[in-house]
Amino acid sequence: MLKPRAFKITDKCLDHKDCINEIACPSFYLEKGKVKIDANTCIGCAVCAQICTENAIIPLKN
């Protein structure tokens, strides 16, 4: 079985933090005030990418 592709946040992010405030995914964390995604815990469900108004969340390349 293939491991799902984790997601990352790109430079398009305008730091609204809707992803943290709206879905509260445990893979999100803040680093120096910026939202980051922990690739080790992200299950690749893509919910965050669907709610991001800047389209700043994309799958990591394998």
Is the pLDDT score of 2 beyond 70? no
Domain extent, residue 41, equals 7-59
**Percent of the chain residues topping a pLDDT of 90:** 74
Q: What is the pTM of this model?
A: 0.86
**pLDDT for 26 beyond 80:** yes
Mean pLDDT over residues 30-41, rounded? Answer: 94
> Structural domain tally of the chain?
1
Residue 2: inside a domain: no
Distance CA 56, CA 15 (A): 10
* 1 found inside a domain: no
The answer on pLDDT for 56 being more than 90 is yes
What separation in angstroms does the CA of 6 have from each of 17, 31, 32, 40? 19, 18, 21, 8
pLDDT-above-70 percentage for the chain: 94
How far from chain centre, in Å, is Cα 49?
Answer: 7
Q: What CATH number has the domain bearing residue 29?
A: 3.30.70.20
The alpha carbon torsion through 22, 10, 59, 30 (nearest 10 deg) reads -50
